[in-house]
Amino acid sequence: MIVGITGGIGSGKTTVLKMFQKFGIDCYIADVEAKFIMNSSVIVKTKIIASFGEESYIDGALNRRYLASQVFANEKKLELLNSIVHPEVAKHFDEFVKHSNSEYIIYESAILFESKTFKKCDFIITVTAPIDIRIERILKRDNTTKIDVLNRMKNQISDEKKIEKSDFVIQNIDLIETEKNVEEIHTKLLSFL
């Protein structure tokens, strides 16, 4: 059983995922694994360099700033990058699933719907929080600006649309409440096995 976790930037997807991890659930963070694959897969590296140029890597390490500037506000280029990376992440995740003994598996992605990975999920959880709180969290966590956060938010589909397609919604404001919610969802998910 695969359970997808999604939500906007700064909603608390990874925070929620860690709570599921405490119950011994195997968790896959698509963004982290995608970065790992872009840095390590020869096939992916070769394709990225062929499509975006040698500047895509500095001393073998992904030049994220350059690549982000290439795909930002350019839908065609973003699609091209996704068409290189997503299939490799999908294969990598399938292997992860094969080797897991977990009661179910959590797959976390901010772009669960956009990447179509939601189709692999038996259940979907959307994590939400008010926009001003999300901005505050990101500014505290990352070395970034409010404009950059707002731009990234603009590129994500709305919470309303995500919630429509979800089985569970976690409003992540108070961490104690969120933990209670996670425990309830975990119990429910176990009952579906």
Binding site for ligand ATP (CB under 6 A): 7, 9-15, 110, 137, 141, 172-173, 175, 178
Which H/E stretch holds residue 183? helix 175-191
- Min CB(124)–ligand ATP separation in Å: 15
Distance CA 114, CA 98 (A): 24
What is the per-residue burial (b if ≥16 Cβ within 10 Å, else e) of 132-170?
eebbebbeeeeeeeeeebeebbeebeebeebeeebbbbb
- Min CB(127)–ligand ATP separation in Å: 6
* Cβ closest to ligand ATP, residue 21 vs residue 46: 21
Distance CA 96, CA 27 (A): 9
* Cβ closest to ligand ATP, residue 11 vs residue 56: 11
DSSP 8-class letter at 29 = E
Written as one letter, the residue type at 133 is I
* Cβ closest to ligand ATP, residue 56 vs residue 172: 172
Can you name the residues that pair with 171 across neighbouring β-strands? 128
- Min CB(182)–ligand ATP separation in Å: 12
Structure tokens at 35: 């970065």
* Cβ closest to ligand ATP, residue 45 vs residue 172: 172
- Min CB(78)–ligand ATP separation in Å: 17
* Cβ closest to ligand ATP, residue 115 vs residue 178: 178
Distance CA 27, CA 4 (A): 10
* Cβ closest to ligand ATP, residue 147 vs residue 193: 147
Longest dimension (CA), the chain: 51
- Min CB(14)–ligand ATP separation in Å: 4
- Min CB(5)–ligand ATP separation in Å: 9
